[in-house]
Structure 1
Amino acid sequence: MSLLSILLAIALLLALTSWLTGYRLPINRSASARAISHRGHGSIQRDRGVARGTRKQLLSLVGGNKAVAQRLVSDVSARNPGRPEQWCWEKAIYDIERDRRA
């Protein structure tokens, strides 16, 4: 195999791994875009350590209401300081599913 095909295979594996885990590179946003997201408008705050599938699952459980999803995650985070964001999102999902079973 040539060096080019090996490099292409490595790049493809990295891209596939990134896509499957939901990892996104940080994107530099303008100051106005940051101000909009801090005011609560626009899309749900993108937490870099949270998998896309987890965000989608919580949004589907709350009927697509991004404000409710963000509030639930913020509440879990406030009650459990020091926990990673991914854990907080998963805990919010668990809490909703638990409450619906009861």
Structure 2
Amino acid sequence: MSGAAIAICLGLCLLFFAWQQRHQLPIGKRGKSFSRQLRPQHPQLERKLLKLLGGNQNTAARLIQQSRLRNPDKPADWHWEKAIYDLERDRWR
């Protein structure tokens, strides 16, 4: 192999690894863990919401963050209960 071919292969490998780091898929079903700010005081709320969402933590975090933007004065558990309530309500319509 010529030096140019080796340089091209190395460049492609570096590009692939850079892309992989940026678009890394979550490990297992749970993905990234919640930040301390998003966690409820009662862990059963987190388990119930994740069960309703099939373990999708990204969706759960998005729902909690949207609720926090709309109701910033409410406690953490309220946001989790609201997300659970909304999901259950919408599924039975």
Question: Which 4+ stretches in 1 moved above 4 angstroms?
Answer: none
Cα RMSD after superposing both structures: 1.6
Structure 1: runs of 5 or more not aligned: 1-40
Max radius of gyration: which structure? 2
- Counterpart for residue 64 of structure 2: 73
- Counterpart for residue 79 of structure 2: 88
Matched, 1:44 2:34: yes
Moved more, 71-80 or 44-53: 44-53
Normalising to structure 1: TM-score of the pair?
Answer: 0.55
Percent of aligned positions that are identical: 45
Aligned counterparts of 1:67 and 1:48: Cα–Cα separation in 2: 13
Structure 2: runs of 5 or more not aligned: 1-30
Aligned counterparts of 2:81 and 2:52: Cα–Cα separation in 1: 12
Aligned counterparts of 2:49 and 2:75: Cα–Cα separation in 1: 16
